[in-house]
């Protein structure tokens, strides 16, 4: 029997407001424990939470960017449970009336086609504190700096049909959050977290199977690996006439498997109710229009523009717009060098190659957009060849020198003087009578050999198009 | 009308209250009569009344996204039964 996976994702994104959602404590990451706390986020009796307006506006940005309908009236609810990371004994969240519902994002599938993934809802809530479990003693240490940091939870429809689609969806959400400048979207640091609901159903059936919930998926790679593992596990269970149990499973990155989180079988009973400390949130059309007018260009729009304005292939546009910083870098280069495909090839090839090899992001690039533009201008103006440019690029990374300085110091300026190239071509033809004879007898592939010889003679500096042309003329 | 013993125990557990057998008996009667009392509200015809979200008729109480003073660490943990190096200390609970 063939099975089809059905996947829905719940993403928690930390918003990068300056202060917490219900109090004036700083949200800055990395402060000493319990230094960004106050009576409100510590859950002292008698305090009142007051909603941070910026949190609402950040959530509205995300809602509009994902085509959600923003609720004219929403409210906050208490989600009751006891755990030491939550000093009040409840988390303030949104339940029956979230700020936004019924949206969608577009993803690009591995085969290049686009697909819509529905967004069920987006709601605002407060983050919990951080527990450090003592390895030697039976105690846990609690740091409440993170308590009350604003989150939005983005719940997808079960429209995702493979681990690769899940990865594409997450990357797209992250790109949108970062373009909107409302979240760092850093999975490893926990500012972007993902839980997955997954089930499998026989291909010919519409009936959904029992789902499991996967947690502890703290990198894009783990999400895809854990889903692939879990899908196979469920198929195996069903094929062996077993039954998939509805449960929470954790990803074990060392053993590359998911395992059941036992002891939590008891169904949660959160007893949500409207938080009487917070008044309803009303959002009118004017406010929505103001936020809409303020939205930046989003990844999809920028991708379409790159294809239309710069005539780039979809593949290039997709990669270049994956992060706002990379797209900005590309456009900064283009302002100096009006050759989009040349810039695109260099940014995607040499630059991203270098960054990936060193595990760096575009923000940490050793070659600024200005330096890259200077180098590519030399190529575009045919001062140096593309091949020499690669040598110069490596030297720029190694020494930090400017491309012009490197080209001058090492005498790498391209030879475009026809008579100088002709002289070298003549010398090569004289030296290789056998190859010349073969070429003339029809072995046209040998042209590459001659080009190679001329380039070697000129240390790669001869203009390759001119070398080709002159060789063809001379060899007849 | 009493509520079921299991329900009393369940609610007590959710609130992390430990109650003895006599109390279970008392609470099943008391909680039952509270529910019954509240139930009388359902006799009112509310079909033309919009749902009330809040006792006070107001919306949109906001705070600006500006940081203000927070507690000093010593103050923050001052009431904690146990603290170490600025951390609150609790019995180890691994969910």
In a domain, B86, yes or no: no
What is the model's pTM? 0.83
Q: Chain A: residue nearest B58 by CA? A: A279
For residues A127, A131, A132, A134, the Cα torsion angle rounded to the nearest 10 degrees is -170
Whether A25 and B88 lie within 8 Å, measured CB to CB: no
Q: Chain B: residue nearest A269 by CA? A: B14
What total of structural domains would you count in chain B? 1
Whether A75 and B53 lie within 8 Å, measured CB to CB: yes
Q: Specify the 3-state DSSP secondary structure of A411.
A: coil
Q: Tell me: the pLDDT tens digits for B35-60?
A: 999 999 899 998 888 877 777 888 99
Contact A95, A272 (CB under 8 A): yes
In a domain, B32, yes or no: yes
- Residue to test with chain A: of B87, B89, B90, B91, most A Cβ within 10 A: B87
In a domain, B19, yes or no: yes
In a domain, B31, yes or no: yes
Q: What is the ipTM of this complex?
A: 0.88
**A254 Cα to chain B: minimum distance (Å):** 20
**B85 Cα to chain A: minimum distance (Å):** 8
In a domain, B70, yes or no: no
- The whole domain housing B11 covers 5-41
Q: How far, in Å, CA of A327 to CA of A322, rounded?
A: 8
Q: What is the pLDDT of residue A266?
A: 56
Q: How far, in Å, CA of A240 to CA of A433, rounded?
A: 73
In a domain, B34, yes or no: yes
Please give the span between the terminal C-alpha atoms of chain B, in angstroms, as a whole number. Answer: 37
Whether chain B has a CB inside 8 Å of the CB on A26: the answer is: yes
B95 pLDDT band, cuts 50/70/90, is low
Range scoring the smallest mean pLDDT among A231-245, A268-282, B44-58 = B44-58
Whether chain B has a CB inside 8 Å of the CB on A83: the answer is: yes
- Residue to test with chain B: of A141, A247, A264, A270, most B Cβ within 10 A: A141
Q: How far, in Å, CA of A152 to CA of A56, rounded?
A: 10
- Tell me the C-alpha to C-alpha distance, in Å, between residue A227 and each of A135, A168, A198, A211: 30, 13, 7, 12
Read out DSSP for B11-71? HHHHTT----HHHHHHHHHHHHHHHHHHHGGGGS--TTSPPPS-SS-----EE-S------
Range scoring the smallest mean pLDDT among A109-113, A351-355, B31-35 = A109-113
Q: What is the pLDDT of residue A460?
A: 78
In a domain, B24, yes or no: yes
- Three-state secondary structure readout of A180-194: CCCCCCCCCCCCEEE
- Residue B26's CATH number: 1.10.20
Domains in chain A and their CATH numbers?
A: 3-290 (no CATH), 297-410 (no CATH), 418-475 (1.10.10.410)
- Residue to test with chain B: of A49, A52, A279, most B Cβ within 10 A: A279
Contact A324, A179 (CB under 8 A): yes
For residues A153, A154, A159, A162, the Cα torsion angle rounded to the nearest 10 degrees is -70
B94 contact residues in A (CB cutoff 8 A): 133
Q: What is the pLDDT of residue A412?
A: 73
Whether B62 and A51 lie within 8 Å, measured CB to CB: yes
Q: What is the pLDDT of residue A345?
A: 92
Q: What is the pLDDT of residue A392?
A: 86
Q: Tell me: the pLDDT tens digits for A417-464?
A: 888 888 888 888 888 888 888 888 888 888 888 888 888 888 777 888
Q: Which two tokens stand for residue B26?
A: 């008392």
Q: How far, in Å, CA of A440 to CA of A457, rounded?
A: 22
Q: Tell me: the pLDDT tens digits for A145-192?
A: 999 999 999 999 999 999 999 999 999 999 999 999 999 998 888 899
Whether chain B has a CB inside 8 Å of the CB on A84: the answer is: yes
Q: Tell me: the pLDDT tens digits for A121-151?
A: 999 999 999 999 998 999 999 999 999 999 9
B55, B65, B89 member nearest A139 (Cβ)? B89
Strand order from edge to edge, sheet including A77-80: A90-93, A77-80, A273-274
A22, A134, A279 member nearest B92 (Cβ)? A134
A143, A279, A282 member nearest B87 (Cβ)? A143
In a domain, B26, yes or no: yes
């Amino acid at each position: 029997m063939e099975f089809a996976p059905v996947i829905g994702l719940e993403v928690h994104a930390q918003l990068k407001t300056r202060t917490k959602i219900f109090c004036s404590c700083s949200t800055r990451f990395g402060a000493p424990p319990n230094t960004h706390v106050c009576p409100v986020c510590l859950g002292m009796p008698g305090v009142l939470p007051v909603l941070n307006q910026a949190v609402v506006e950040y959530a509205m940005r995300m809602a509009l960017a994902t085509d959600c309908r923003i609720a004219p009236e929403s409210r906050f609810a208490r989600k009751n449970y006891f755990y030491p990371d939550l000093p009040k004994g409840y988390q303030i969240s949104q339940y029956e009336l979230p700020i936004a519902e019924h949206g969608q994002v577009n993803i690009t599938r591995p085969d290049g086609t686009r697909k819509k993934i529905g967004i069920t809802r987006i709601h605002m809530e407060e983050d919990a504190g951080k527990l450090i479990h003592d390895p030697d003693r039976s105690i846990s240490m609690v740091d409440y700096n993170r308590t009350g940091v604003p989150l939005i939870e983005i719940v997808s429809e079960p429209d995702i049909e493979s681990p690769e689609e899940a990865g594409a969806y997450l990357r797209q959400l992250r790109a949108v959050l970062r373009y909107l400048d409302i979240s760092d979207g850093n999975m490893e640091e926990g500012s972007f977290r993902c839980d997955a609901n997954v089930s499998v159903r026989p291909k010919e059936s519409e009936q959904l199977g029992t789902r499991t919930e996967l947690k502890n998926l703290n990198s894009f790679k783990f999400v895809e690996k854990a889903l692939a593992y879990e899908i196979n596990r469920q198929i195996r269970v069903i094929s062996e006439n077993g039954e998939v149990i509805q449960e929470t499973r954790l990803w074990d990155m060392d053993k590359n498997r998911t395992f059941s989180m036992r002891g939590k079988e008891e169904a949660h009973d959160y007893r949500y109710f409207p938080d009487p400390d917070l008044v309803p949130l009303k959002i009118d059309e004017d406010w929505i229009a103001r936020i809409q007018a303020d939205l930046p260009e989003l990844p999809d729009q920028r991708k379409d523009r790159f294809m239309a304005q710069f005539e780039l292939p979809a593949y290039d546009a997709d990669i270049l717009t994956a992060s706002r910083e990379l797209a900005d870098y590309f456009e900064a280069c283009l302002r100096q060098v009006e050759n989009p495909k040349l810039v695109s090839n260099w940014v995607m090839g040499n630059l991203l190659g270098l960054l990936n090899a060193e595990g760096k992001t575009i923000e940490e690039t050793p070659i600024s957009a200005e330096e890259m533009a200077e180098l590519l201008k030399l190529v575009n103006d045919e001062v140096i060849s593309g091949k020499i440019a690669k040598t110069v690029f490596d030297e720029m990374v190694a020494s930090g020198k400017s491309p012009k300085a490197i080209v001058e110091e090492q005498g790498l300026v391209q030879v475009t003087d026809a008579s100088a190239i002709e002289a070298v071509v003549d010398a090569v033809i004289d030296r290789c009578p056998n190859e010349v004879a073969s070429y003339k007898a029809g072995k046209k592939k040998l042209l590459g050999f001659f080009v190679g010889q001329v380039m070697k003679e000129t240390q790669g500096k001869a203009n390759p198009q001119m070398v080709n042309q002159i060789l063809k003329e001379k060899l007849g | 009308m009493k509520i079921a013993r299991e329900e009393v125990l369940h609610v007590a557990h959710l609130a992390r209250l430990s109650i003895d057998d006599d109390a279970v008996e008392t609470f099943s009667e008391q909680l039952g009569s509270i529910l019954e009392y509240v139930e009388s509200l359902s006799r009112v015809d509310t079909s033309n009344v919009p749902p009330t979200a809040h006792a006070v008729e107001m919306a949109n109480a906001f705070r600006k996204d500006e940081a203000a003073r927070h507690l000093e660490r010593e103050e923050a943990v001052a009431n904690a039964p146990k603290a170490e190096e600025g951390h609150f200390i609790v019995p180890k609970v691994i969910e």
